Structure 1
Amino acid sequence: MSSVSELVGDGRCAQLQQVVDCAAGRFVCFTRCTAAAWSISVTDGVDVWIWQAGQEELDAHRDVAELSSFEAYFSRFRTAFLAGEVSISGTGHRLQCTLGKGSSTLTYDLYEATASERKEDLKHILFRLADKVTELDLKLADSTNRLDTLRQNHPERQVGAKGGAGFDLDMQRNRGPAAKVRRKEGYSILNPESKRVKAPRGVHFDEEDSS
């Protein structure tokens, strides 16, 4: 049978985090996993509440949710978590964390962490979020460098500066009004290359005096 870390890893639920705004306050909800257990933690920045489960507890919780496989279980959890369908209720030593809506919910009863657990969890999420911000900054810097390179290689297009076809519009504006084409006298308007053919007027006879 797969270990807890393998099950959670396959379900891509080992390192999730979400900010939760609800009636009980503002919290950060996050998951973490060790070789023996998977945990859900909630913190308001000062206190921490935890739900932790090993293999047997996960089996029991999956049965309560009436899901036939861990794949379905973690899929429901991940989908609801990433969609922001996370609510937290309760105060004091106990909190309840609910994921999902309607009949497809998962509920977890969290206990207040001990001093050592609180210290460890706050340190863990602090450095995880710091690593995430650093990673995003590096990706942003790389994208900016790529964009600058494109601008240098194609200065006439001003890639990204004005967006899309902005440079085409500017070129058209700088050209000024189009010069008016003069039609040659005697040529057709519809077909400028051909002369107009005058309609025949018949034969004209000069009138002679009958006298």
Structure 2
Amino acid sequence: MENITSESKSVLCTLLDKNDQSKYVFFTQKKPEGGINIGFTNGEGVWKTHLSEENLSPLMKTFSLKSTEDYTLKLKCACKTGKAFVEVQEDSAVLHLGLEPTDSSLTLSKLTDSEGRTEVKDLLFIMADSLTQQDNREFEVRNQLKGPSIAVRKRLPGDSLINPGTRRKKTATGVAFDEDD
């Protein structure tokens, strides 16, 4: 599974439907009021659920996790390692967090077309913002790796290679002095 970005507030990655090998963009969004939204989309349909703090606590106990961030990290790792997969049904979908259908699972509801369009639009902006942040981080890292820039003086013709800054001594071509004068 391909990881696009991960932050403490959201996770974006891809996962598969094991039945027909369809690809989906998986996302989580931590809510300021508590809990997280978990969902996925194929660009046409969107399936989503909200896990409140009360719903999360049994899951965190099951996996021996300490925080919501740990749970989202577990979801990200399951997607990256191929241990997460979905089964899409008519009006809902089941997200499995393990290789077997009997492992931990979550049921997600299919959003209406208008809600789905809004969710996909929001997801696109989250992706664009994360790519922009990633580009900025890479630019900063590249600049830090270069270190302070040192001005390099261009070697002029006649400059010494061994002792830069001095010019090579040319043999005198001389001026002819007449000794008769």
The TM-score normalised by the length of structure 2 is 0.60
Mapped partners of 2:120, 2:151: distance in 1: 48
Structure 1 equivalent of residue 26 of structure 2: 29
- Between 1 and 2, higher relative CO (CA 8 Å, sep ≥ 6) is seen in 2
Instruction: Give the corresponding residue for 1:46.
Output: 44
- Aligned 1:60-139 pairs, distance under 5 A: 61=59, 66-67=62-63, 70-71=66-67, 74=71, 76-101=74-99, 105-139=103-137
Q: Secondary structure at the match of 2:10?
A: coil
Q: Could you say if the C-alpha distance between residues 68 and 84 of structure 1 is closer, same or farther in structure 2, counting changes exceeding 3 Å?
A: closer
List gaps (5 residues or longer) in structure 2: 1-6, 153-181
Any conservation in 2 of the 1:24–1:90 contact (CA below 8 Å)? no
Instruction: State the 4+ residue runs in structure 1 displaced beyond 6 angstroms.
Output: none
- Scaled by the length of structure 1, what TM-score is found? 0.53
From 12, 17, 21, the counterpart of 1:17 = 12
CA distance in 1, matches of 2:26, 2:40: 4
Which has the greater radius of gyration?
1
Greater share of strand: 2
* One-letter amino acid of the counterpart of residue 54, structure 2: E
Task: Give the number of aligned pairs.
Answer: 142
Q: CA deviation at 1:81?
A: 3.8
Matched position secondary structure for 2:25: strand
Identity of aligned residues (%): 20
Residue segments in structure 1 that go unaligned for 5+ positions in a row:
1-11, 156-211
The 1:93–1:143 alpha-carbon spacing in structure 2 relative to 1, beyond 3 Å, is same
Distance in structure 2 (CA, Å) of the matches to 1:94 and 1:53: 16
- CA–CA separation in structure 2 for the residues paired with 1:125 and 1:112: 16
Question: Is 2:14–2:79's contact at 8 Å kept on the other side of the alignment?
Answer: no
CA deviations 1:8-50 (Å, max 9, x no partner) are xxxx764111112343411000001221442111100111001
Match of 1:179 in 2: none
Change (3 A) 1:38 1:92: same
